[in-house]
């Protein structure tokens, strides 16, 4: 089940978000990292140090901050996009190969310029015949601007984060 932030109906978001993200990804050409819609690659580096990766799109930004242990660098991707009416900003962070073999000691995705309406974290990202496997709800928490691990409850597995945030609207 989807994890709405509590300000909207969960079932509606569960149906809407996958379709919205597909539209945003399809309409988002790969361009200069950090400034345009699209997907950028980055390395998730183990070693226990805190690292961050950010992308911006106009007035909106998404920053993924993490600390991980074990193994070597993994290649991950971040996609940012806006809905056609500029009402939703999305940020997806994932390991294209599916399941990460790193042990995450912490994670946090933060959006600026918009308020989170939906967020979900996954221990495995869909690849091939494998499906997304969501984290248990008690493993992470969602605020108006962040989705992050829950201290003492998170089981160290992360392979994907999805955030959809509502942008402010200027009324006429």
Tens digits of per-residue pLDDT, 12-35? 444 444 444 444 444 444 434 446
Q: Is the pTM of this model over 0.85?
A: no
In this predicted structure, the answer to whether residue 126 has a pLDDT above a threshold of 90 is yes
Alpha helices by DSSP H, 31-142: none
Q: For residue 22, report the phi and psi dihedrals to the nearest 5 degrees.
A: -65, -40
For residues 97-111, average pLDDT: 97
Length of the chain: 172
Distance CA 67, CA 106 (A): 5
Q: Which of the four pLDDT bands, split at 50, 70 and 90, describes residue 93?
A: very high
Which has more pLDDT, 35 or 79?
79
Non-local CB neighbours of 11 within 8 Å, separated by 6+ positions:
none
Q: How many helices and strands, by DSSP H and E, does the chain display? A: 1, 11
What average pLDDT does the segment 145-152 reach? 98
Q: What is the pLDDT of residue 52?
A: 98
Q: Which of 98, 97, 80 is nearest to 89 (CA)?
A: 80
Closest CA to 78 of 99, 98, 64: 64
Q: Does the pLDDT of residue 88 top 50, yes or no?
A: yes
Phi first, then psi, for residue 144 (nearest 5°) are -65, -30
């Amino acid at each position: 089940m989807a994890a709405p932030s509590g300000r909207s109906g969960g079932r509606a978001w569960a149906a809407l978000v996958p379709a919205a993200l597909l539209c945003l990804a399809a309409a988002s050409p790969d361009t200069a990292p950090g400034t345009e819609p699209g997907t950028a690659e980055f390395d998730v580096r183990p070693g226990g140090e805190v690292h961050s990766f950010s992308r911006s799109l106009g007035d909106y930004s998404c920053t993924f901050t993490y600390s991980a242990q074990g193994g070597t660098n993994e290649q991950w991707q971040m996609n940012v996009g806006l809905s056609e009416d500029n009402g939703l900003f999305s940020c997806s962070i994932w390991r294209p190969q599916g399941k990460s073999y790193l042990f995450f000691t912490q994670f946090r995705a933060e959006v600026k310029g918009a308020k989170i309406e939906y967020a979900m974290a996954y221990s495995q990202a869909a690849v091939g015949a494998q499906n997304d496997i969501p984290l248990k709800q008690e493993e992470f928490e969602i605020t108006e601007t962040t989705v992050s691990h829950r201290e003492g409850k998170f089981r160290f597995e992360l392979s994907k984060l999805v955030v959809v945030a509502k942008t402010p609207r200027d009324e006429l």
